[in-house]
């Protein structure tokens, strides 16, 4: 085991407070938030179970691990929530000046579509 790996090997949690492993050294049964999301799961309120430490740009980096057996399925949006999101996204594409729905989001700095903004400037 290299010195860097040995520095971050603390499966009992005596040095760092929680079980700590080196990069790619965590045992099966643990996953990061991104790995849980890719599997269609979420932490579900459980505390951080372990961490992975490695030396990176700017110092020591950390990734927190959660237990996969305690993870819960991701929640899905209700039809009403999906409808509200659709209306909100349509409102972001609607110009306040000409009231047309554009194929892009209206820049907040302009407050109107690019066509209306260039007509005022000209």
> 24 pLDDT exceeds 90?
no
> 88 pLDDT exceeds 60?
yes
3-state class (DSSP) for residue 66: strand
Picking from 89, 95, 26, the residue whose alpha carbon sits closest to that of residue 63 is 26
> 100 pLDDT exceeds 80?
yes
pLDDT tens column, 57-75 = 889 899 999 999 999 999 9
Same domain as 89, residue 57: no
Q: Which domain holds residue 103?
A: 79-121
Number of domains in the chain: 2
Same domain as 104, residue 62: no
User: Which pLDDT does position 72 carry in this prediction?
Assistant: 96
Same domain as 40, residue 10: yes
> 121 pLDDT exceeds 70?
no
């Amino acid at each position: 085991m290299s010195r860097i790996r040995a520095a971050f090997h603390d499966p009992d949690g005596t040095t760092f407070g929680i079980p700590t492993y080196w990069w790619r050294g965590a045992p099966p049964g643990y996953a990061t938030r991104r790995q849980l999301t890719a599997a269609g799961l979420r932490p579900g309120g459980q505390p951080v179970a372990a961490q992975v430490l490695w030396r990176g740009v700017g110092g020591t980096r950390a990734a927190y691990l959660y237990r996969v057996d305690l993870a819960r399925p991701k929640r899905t949006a209700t039809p009403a929530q999906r409808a509200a999101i659709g209306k909100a996204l349509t409102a972001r594409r609607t110009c306040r000046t000409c009231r047309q729905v554009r194929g892009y989001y209206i820049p907040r700095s302009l407050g109107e579509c690019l066509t209306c903004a260039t007509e005022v400037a000209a």
